[in-house]
Amino acid sequence: MPKLATVAKRLLVGRPFRSDRLSHTLLPKRIALPVFASDPMSSVAYAPEEILLVLSVAGASAYVFSPWIALLVAVVMAAVVASYRQNVRTYTSGGGDYEVATVNHGPRWGLVVGSALLVDYVLTVAVSIASAAANIGSAVPFVATHKVEFAVGAIVLLTAMNLRGVRESGTAFAIPTYAFVVGILAMIVWSLVRVYLLGEEVRAESADFDLVEEHGSLAGLGFAFLILRAFSSGSAALTGVEAISNGVPAFRKPKGRNAATTLLMMGVLAVTMFLGLIMLARLTGAQVAEDPAHQLIGAPAGYEQKTLVAQLANAVFAGFPPATWYVIFFTGLILVLAANTAFNGFPVLGSILAQDRYLPRQLHTRGDRLVFSNGIVFLAAFAIVLVVAFDAEVTRLIQLYIVGVFMSFVISQSGMIRHWTRLLRTETDPAARRRMRRSQAVNAFGFAMTALVLVVILITKFTQGAWISLAAMAAIYVVMSAIRRHYQRVSDELQEDDDPPIRMPSRNHAIVLVSKLHRPTKRALAYAKALRPDRLEAITVNVDDQETRELLDRWNKQDVPVPLKVIESPYREITKPILDYVKRIRTDNPRDVVTVFIPEYVVGRWWEQLLHNQSALRLKGRLLFQPGVMVTSVPWQLASSAKVSDRAELAPGAIRRGLRAEDDGARQER
């Protein structure tokens, strides 16, 4: 079984990398763009649709506001991109918003940002995968009826790809990401050519339907609230921008400059595609409704509403199905891969939080492929729980979305303002001061815009599900604070005091546990004698009179040079009598140390472990809590363990190449 697990792991993640190969996994800009920016670029596939869905509540007349809402979202995105270009140049360690907040506002605000980003990364995976299921389901009915299964499978596949390493996953994701960008831009350009150069009419399949209000006409404050809600939903296009600031260590040198350039490329492409799709929706008359069965008058019986991108592709490339399939396929694929932004941001942030002792230390270590494997697995598990709980529905999940990311935006930008203010106090060079003032102004504008959006989101989405995200952030904040306190308490407890660093015990009282007189027991006795304790004795617990008498007879016949003591157990317990005996020794001689030697079988099959060593495991678990007691396992390798030993002698990947232990050893000697 261990051999099978090792082979499966090698097939899944590949051969392990040496630590000194970390520099070879760093990313050039052309690969970093699809790795870190696929989320904000792909969000243009659902953010415009979410704007139209919200506006549809007020009927088709409300669509006239969609270009203005989109333009405002684009302005916010430009402000955020410009602001984060300052961040990545200044803070290159990979802490991103967490580091900015911690350095400039203190650890508590840093922890708030960390909690918000952890929640947002999980939601990024869930929303992206759910949107991919919806887009692919527009063309493949089977996916539409099995969205949850598709979403879970896609997350598992992404997890496997990311466990193989950032560079490998980036290379695999580059082609579909660029193919998606080409498809969307080509669709926008070709629609303009058809309408304005060829004079053709481009109409979406839903353009001829009548879109009516869902709950009657809205006016005044109700309509204003609807506009704000549409704006907050469209702001989902900004998610993922912060991932580049968390992933700066993965860039090639100069890290800060390359990250800033990648941010600019991402911003230009995302804004262009976002505004282009909104413009194209107005041009083709495409309509999407929250309740298509009741709101779309004139739709044929059994009409299934397609996603906005699918409707636009069908309209623009009418008569040429391959182009339509191309756009739909790569849109669905990029939405699956967009979750890769979180798969690169979450583990890095988790590692930094673990390094600061806010998360378990296991999240700080790199796996075989020099990626933070534990963080990747944690992210996948939480995302799967979300898509199952919310049935992979984008509209339901997106209500929980973007609260965390905009909270981190606001705190980060205020931290950058404070950063520049602090530097300006000591800077005397006029040119440097002018640069700092420009940077401060950019961050101030970013702070103002993101704070406005955060307020709008909290007002419009709180009762729709945003409260769940806020509750999750608060829970994570409390848990991370508790973990930090625990690590600090342990650290304080282990600090050296004024006493002598080493206290020598008066004597070492050694005990060898005996169930039968066989070779494992004799090895334990020999090992205990070799350590020359001050006192050595063997003990056995009498749970069966006949077996105990036979053990004593064999002990005396073989003249074992260690006294054997029998401990009575009228209730046939093993653990408690031994614990009581050890406690009595410690009570009678508090300055003595008691060493308990436990013979154990070493087995090679998982099911054999269930058949052996259970009493030893229970006893060790109890003895470890006894002060002044040392527990020593004396292994005895059974025949089945030889297979595991042979496997351990192989170099990584040897089994996959069909080599045996002796073959691999001979090859290494040559």
Is there a domain that residue 656 lies in?
A: no
Is there a domain that residue 444 lies in?
A: no
Same domain flag for 474 and 581: no
Q: What is the CATH number of the domain that holds 580?
A: 3.40.50
Separation CA 141–CA 19 (nearest Å):
46
**What's the pLDDT at 664?**
44
Same domain flag for 298 and 227: yes
DSSP per-residue string spanning 344-396:
HHHHHHHHHHHHTTSS-GGGGS--TTSS-HHHHHHHHHHHHHHHHHTTT-HHH
Q: How far is CA 342 from CA 27, 89, 158, 350, in A?
A: 16, 21, 11, 11
Same domain flag for 140 and 46: yes
Closest CA to 392 of 173, 177, 154: 154
Is there a domain that residue 1 lies in?
A: no
Closest CA to 367 of 9, 5, 4, 2: 9
Same domain flag for 475 and 610: no
Report how many domains make up the chain. 2
Separation CA 437–CA 420 (nearest Å):
8
Q: What is the CATH number of the domain that holds 128?
A: 1.20.1740
DSSP per-residue string spanning 421-440:
HHHHHH---HHHHHHHHHHH
DSSP per-residue string spanning 42-80:
HGGGTHHHHHHHHHGGG-GGGGGGHHHHHHHHHHHHHHH
For residue 295, give the amino acid letter.
Answer: Q
Same domain flag for 483 and 608: no
**Range of the structural domain that residue 61 is part of:** 32-79+122-399+464-488
Cα 116 → chain centroid: 13
pLDDT tens per residue, range 607-666: 777 777 677 888 888 888 888 899 999 998 888 777 665 554 544 444 444 444 444 444
Same domain flag for 217 and 365: yes
pTM of the model: 0.70
Same domain flag for 389 and 534: no
Same domain flag for 290 and 213: yes
Is there a domain that residue 644 lies in?
A: no
Same domain flag for 383 and 515: no
**What's the pLDDT at 666?**
43
Same domain flag for 340 and 472: yes
Q: Which residues in the chain land under pLDDT 70?
A: 1-26, 37, 94-95, 164-173, 214-220, 240, 246-247, 365-371, 494-504, 613, 643-670
Is there a domain that residue 112 lies in?
A: no
Is there a domain that residue 104 lies in?
A: no
Separation CA 403–CA 420 (nearest Å):
26
Give pairs for 103-112: CB < 8 Å, separation 24+. 103/415, 103/419, 104/414, 104/415, 104/416, 104/418, 104/419, 104/422, 105/411, 105/414, 105/415, 105/418, 109/411, 109/415, 111/358, 111/477, 111/480, 111/481, 112/407, 112/411, 112/473, 112/477
Same domain flag for 476 and 588: no
pLDDT tens per residue, range 504-516: 677 899 999 998 8
Is there a domain that residue 551 lies in?
A: yes
Same domain flag for 128 and 156: yes
**What's the pLDDT at 598?**
93
Is there a domain that residue 448 lies in?
A: no
**What's the pLDDT at 189?**
93
**What's the pLDDT at 186?**
93
